[in-house]
Amino acid sequence: MKTMLNVLNAFVIAVAVATPALSADLKVTFAKSNGRMLLPENASCISTSSDKSAPGPNKSLAVSWSKGPKGTRSYALTMVDPDVPADFSLFNKADKPIPKDFKRMEFVHWVLADIPASRTSLAEGTDGNAPPPGGLPLERTAYGRRGQNGAGGGNLKDGPHGGYKGPCPPWNDARAHSYHVTVYALDVEQLKLPDLFTRADLLAAAKGHILASGSRELFYTLNAKAEK
């Protein structure tokens, strides 16, 4: 029995030495929020007195994250809403409330690649400070390289839609939408990406390069009766 325990201990030690230690998940925080609710100033649509909606300030979130593990050479960031009703024809129809259990799909609100390793935060409004038609150019900035958000159908053929696209859920939706901000610590300074890239392109390019990641969610709704 003692011999078997010695063998098992030796095996455990060998595995520990052979397997690289994984860093704890990155801690993602928001400088401004109402508890777990996203603020209207960070949305592209806000409530009105008629219980419908109007264009919002669309200021990109003030977000920060803990420093990546040793070997981190860049970060990437995405923001996704997985609660979008799958049938766009039902949006904002007073006579057709969208049930909480209705079929859902993802909408990509924000994609940034090649964020410098020296940066662990983005101030409010850094990557969007108004609702410009078509979004911001898909280009490299001092704080990272912009990818395509979900505006215009989410397809590159619909034109470039870069930068932060704040929440704008249907005001007739019974479900409060969740917005997941995820930060990845990567072992490369720049990912191999096409000139115009999507979140899917980013995740594919990041495969095998992710040292650590962290995610946090906020909720937002234009329907006072919506539930999480």
pLDDT at 9 over 60: no
Q: CATH number for 22-220: choose from 3.90.280.10, 3.40.50.1100, 3.20.20.70, 3.40.50.10310.
A: 3.90.280.10
In this prediction the pTM is: 0.87
pLDDT recorded at residue 51? 72
Instruction: For residue 45, give Cα distances in angstroms to 33, 48, 103, 104, 165.
Output: 16, 10, 22, 20, 10
- Give mean pLDDT, residues 97-125: 97
- What residue spans define the domains of the chain? 22-220
pLDDT digits (tens, 9 = 90+) for 201-226: 999 999 999 999 999 999 999 999 99
